[in-house]
Amino acid sequence: MHELRTPAFIVDAQIRDVRFPSTSPLRSSYPTSKQAEKDGGMERPRRRDLIRISSHPDDIASAVKTPKMGEDDAKLQGAVLEPSGGLALKTTGQLAGNPSGPESTAMHDDIATLPDATSPDLHLSHPTDQENSFIWRLQSVAWKDALTVPQFIEGCAYVTTLPLAKNKGMTQWILVDKTLPPGRRQILASCESVRKRSLTSDANGNVTETITHGVASVYCNPRYRRRGYASRMLTELGKVLATWQVEGVSKVAASVLFSDIGSKFYAAVGWQPFSSYHIEFSPAPLESRSATCVLAEEVGQLCADDESIIRQAMARPYKDGRARHMILPDHDHMLWHHHKEEFDCEKLLEKKPHIKGAIAGEPGNRSLRIPYFWTIPPMITNGPIYR
């Protein structure tokens, strides 16, 4: 349950997929379409929410349409990692004839030598710092928006230092050939997962502390698309995330994805879509004199208050016999969004926003509360997904 802090707002809750691990009553993941796989399966966390139920947890991310490329962006589409170690940006034009592009790099990036997506030599690994820089540079073509390429790369590195990402909160994943070392291996697809605190409750109101993995930034090098690499990566990731980072926690409940690109692609690799809802409220014609600004230093206490409300709500028996699941909107979670916003504003506007929202009404009598935990139909307990 979440208390909306503004007198005028839009709630966009695209809850589409939920999936449960074989050892858990809850499991979620993300959907897309076959066309997304053909287009590279690009996903980036944005506004639309997805959840799903399955035998492994998976993702949080959302698709972004690739903007029209400028000349420099088009050059980046052909960038490859230099095999000798270290990061070298080589365009397809350089590889074709520029002396600065070593022949071995061209051979290494030869499309004809790419492995089949079903090859047993492919596995999930974690990128080196140099490989991360390379991945972010490629992603910048689609996702940098108004930032420069260096600013986008700096921002990607920055979010890995935030509270939600520190202490292994964020894990970066790549699909590679395990027979090749870092620096020589082709990064066939990439993504990241973020560990989030969540709650799961059964129909009787028994609440369990769980983990939900959010998967973001699903990306495939444009040169390697339409070969099934994104599907292979996500299939392997589902197997791993079902028990990923469970130390000290009873179970992984779910994984989630925020996406705009449909459900067919992710359904094809094992996840089931949930129905979507969009609720829009028009602003009130009169100003609310009781509304006050929420400052950065006040967000932590508001998050703590919300968590208390959420726990009370989820502890109540649910009349329809459904299980419920919710990612806790804790302070670390909010800081992730706020610090990213501050980074972008500082780069683009040379100032940071200190006001984080507005709140209307007195404690205990706020203007509106909207529950946004996900409910799982009881029929799922008898299906092949709930194990």
Domains, the chain, in order of start with CATH, read 2-66+115-281+289-382 (3.40.630.30)
What's the number of CA atoms in the CB half-sphere (13 Å) around residue 322?
9
Q: What is the pLDDT of residue 205?
A: 92
The pLDDT-based confidence of 176 (bands split at 50, 70, 90) is: very high
Could you read off the pLDDT of 135-172 as tens digits, one per residue?
Answer: 999 999 999 999 999 999 999 999 999 999 999 999 99
Say what the pLDDT of residue 247 is.
Answer: 82
Cβ-proximal residues to 153 (8 Å cutoff; 6+ apart), any chain: 133, 136, 137, 140
pLDDT digits over 276-305, tens only?
677 888 877 766 567 788 899 999 999 999
- Give CA torsion, residues 168, 159, 35, 20, to 10 deg: 30
Better pLDDT: 170 or 386: 170
What 3-state DSSP class applies to 269? coil
β-strands 252-257, 207-219 pairing: parallel
User: Residue 319: helix, strand or coil by DSSP?
Assistant: coil
Query: pTM score > 0.75 for this model?
Result: no
Tens-place pLDDT, residues 54-78: 333 232 222 222 233 333 333 343 3
Specify the higher pLDDT residue, 376 or 347: 347
CB 310, CB 200: distance < 8 Å: no
* pLDDT for position 366: 59
DSSP bridge pairs for 2: 370
Question: Is the distance from CB of 109 to CB of 95 less than 8 angstroms?
Answer: yes
Q: How confident is the model at residue 259 (pLDDT cuts 50, 70, 90)?
A: low
Q: 154-158, 193-197, 237-241: which range is least confident on average?
A: 237-241
Rounded to the nearest integer, the mean pLDDT of the chain is 71
The percent of residues above 90 in pLDDT, for the chain, comes to 43
- Asked if residue 263 has pLDDT above 50, the reply is yes
